[in-house]
Structure 1
């Protein structure tokens, strides 16, 4: 019978190799313990890893949509608020105009009220949301309108005053306005003045916006309008009423002609408010579609993440047991190695 011998060097080499393997397994186990997913997805899943990558790509797209939809949602809320303000402006200015006319009040108050509301309307239209002018159509980097009451006079106000002067032979603030008859005022309002709020004069003097508005993809297969335009009919009607009150000769007209002017201002302002409500309703429909899209995205994302988790995920209890076993094994290996290093023939001489 032959007895084989094993040197301490060979034993140490075996322990070293086993210890290195345990260290590598420990690193992978620690990674799985902290992340909750496989340390090497490709190695473990093999051919199924392609499906996981596809699902992760879709999840990334859905997360991108969620981020852009949040910006769109904020813009839509701004539009709703702006349209609400314009709706109220149109209705209350109509009531204010009729109140001053029926009470025989100071017409200067009507002009001052119109100027104040014009500033409000201009501020609403010129406000940006996340760097986007929501009423500029596709010209999102350009304010949709100029300040009508600016100094020097804006192109819009210059055009209004020039049109009045061309029609009557004197500017709106001239006392000669008292000579304007109701028929002449009606012809002016229906003719050259009304033309200012139609193309091409509207875009030439008042608006920098486009008729076409922004569209954003809110889901993988759905787009909605996500901005508006100052070319909306309701906004033009509000400008018609306010500019007519400011630069229509209001303070100098005779009583009969002022009656015609006040009636047109009140009616057009009220119509503008109602027209804005119709546009506001369309924005509301788009908001509802956005909310539904966000719900679908959340459900789809949750389902995909669940499927990915089943493929990539690890059992935390099993990983904890494996981590404990590996730690104990490595500690035992270190103890054995330490004892073997103490073995020497000198102890037996």
Structure 2
């Protein structure tokens, strides 16, 4: 027959053996009550934990795309506001040129053209969040230089060079400020505008003013859809607007004969009209992109709700049941402490 020694110390330590386990269970129960999900998802779900992780990854991708769409929509909105300003200026100046009298106030319209060109450059350098919206993928550099800046040569230098080039090259062999420009015929001016002058803005000479990339930003607006979410300063309407302003203020129209001046004014009106239509097309394209992005964001919001529901079905705990477990564990721990206190009072000394 085997006997077991029973001591007061053994009785004291008996409740302590389960106290650590109770406290660990209480910590998990409190976590589940606070977060609404299993404290140890892997342990609770077992082989289904892979499904939970996959759902969370897909939901995270949607969150990332939603944030990206928010940035893209802000860029589109900022771009559209700048395009509105550019189009309004071009429309106002075109209408002002159409309404000019037979003897136009040349100095006034020259100053207006120069001011509108400065406004165009300012609008092209619009930025949001530290990124230039008309730079294409080149979002870190100013898309547009000043008319007399950039280069060398600057756009102003190129225009002056084309104007004073030999007649065999399509120029007039005199600078714009020379009084002899009064002898330029209407036909010669028309050939210059459609030839060397136009080539500056349509060709590589445009890079004297523009630092933008021809490639626009492409954004993934949903897991399966990618669209262009920007425009750039190199589009045809931008070149045309700049060309119209330049021909008014930097071709010496104050000294030209009335016939040659009328050629310049009419050409500027025609170019601005074409540019305004082109700007509307650019805005329409951005509007379509904005609508697609909004639709994609709404669709992903629905997908996110579905993922949240499925994740909740896998990982969530019943808050009522979690609260009951917390209360029970608290009661057990308090009982354990109470028993320990009572056992400490068990001593033979008390009975001697």
Q: Distance in 2 between matches of 1:27 and 1:57?
A: 28
5 Å-filtered alignment, 1:322-341, equals 322-341=325-344
Q: State yes or no: 1:314 paired with 2:317.
A: yes
Alignment CA distance shift 1:108-1:4 (3 Å): same
Structure 2 unmatched ranges of 5 or more: 166-170
Q: With structure 2 as the length reference, what TM-score do the two structures score?
A: 0.93
Instruction: Give the aligned partner of residue 290 of structure 1.
Output: 293
Count residues with an aligned counterpart.
346
What are the within-5 Å matches in structure 2 for residues 208-247 of structure 1?
Answer: 208-247=211-250
Show structure 1 runs of 4+ deviating over 4 A: 2-7, 149-154
Matched, 1:63 2:67: no
* Larger displacement relative to structure 2 (24-33 or 171-180): 171-180
TM-score by length of 1: 0.94
**Counterpart in the other structure of 1:141:** 140
Give the drift of 1:144: 2.1
Q: Is 1:72 matched with 2:76?
A: no
Which residue in 2 is equivalent to 1:197? 201
Question: Structure 1 residues 257 and 326, CA, compared in 2 at 3 Å: closer, same or farther?
Answer: same
Counterpart-to-counterpart distance in 1, 2:150 and 2:16: 87
Q: Give deviations 1:90-134, integer Å, cap 9, x for gaps.
A: 1111011222x3263310001100011011100011122222222
1:175 to 172, 179, 189: 179
Matched-pair contact (CA < 8 Å) for 1:136–1:143: yes
Report the CA distance between 1:154 and its aligned residue.
6.2
For the Cα contact (< 8 Å) 2:15–2:340, is it kept in 1?
Answer: yes
- Are the equivalent residues in 2 in contact too, given 1:137–1:209 (CA < 8 A)? yes
Tell me, in whole angstroms, the C-alpha distance in 1 between the residues paired with 2:87 and 2:222.
31
Task: Summarize the Cα distance change of 1:280–1:145 in structure 2 as closer, same or farther, 3 Å threshold.
Answer: same
The one-character-per-residue Cα deviations of 1:61-89 (angstroms, maximum 9, x if unpaired) are 11111222211111111111121111112
Match of 2:104 in 1: 105
Q: CA deviation at 1:7?
A: 4.2
Return the alpha-carbon distance in structure 1 between the equivalents of residues 318 and 151 of structure 2. 74
Alpha-carbon distance in 2 for matches of 1:249, 1:25: 89
Deviation at 1:307, TM superposition (A): 1.0
Maintained 8 Å contact 1:147/1:154: no
User: In 2, Cα distance between the equivalents of 1:178 and 1:266?
Assistant: 22
Asked whether 1:10 is paired with 2:10, we answer yes
Partner of residue 168, structure 2: none
| 1: CA distance, partners of 2:288 / 2:263 | 38
- Kindly indicate whether the alpha-carbon contact (under 8 Å) linking 2:136 and 2:213 is maintained by their aligned counterparts in 1: yes
Alignment of 1:12-27 (within 5 A): 12-27=12-27
Secondary structure of the 1:196 match is helix
Q: Which residue in the other structure is 2:262 paired with?
A: 259
Question: For 1:252, what is the secondary structure of its paired residue?
Answer: coil
Contact preservation (8 Å) 1:114, 1:245? yes
Q: How far did residue 318 of structure 1 move?
A: 1.2
Any conservation in 2 of the 1:185–1:260 contact (CA below 8 Å)? yes
Q: Is the 8 A contact 1:41 1:312 kept in 2?
A: yes
- Cα distance in 2, alignment partners of residues 151 and 145 from structure 1: 9
Q: Is the 8 A contact 2:31 2:39 kept in 1?
A: yes
Report Cα offsets for 1:152-173 as digits up to 9, x if no partner: 9861111011111111121112
Q: What residue is the counterpart of 2:305 in the other structure? A: 302
Comparing 10-19 with 301-310, greater Cα deviation is found at 10-19
Tell me the CA shift for residue 5 of structure 1: 8.1
**Cα offsets for 1:186-243 (capped at 9, x unmatched):** 111111111112223333x332223221111111111111221212111111011011
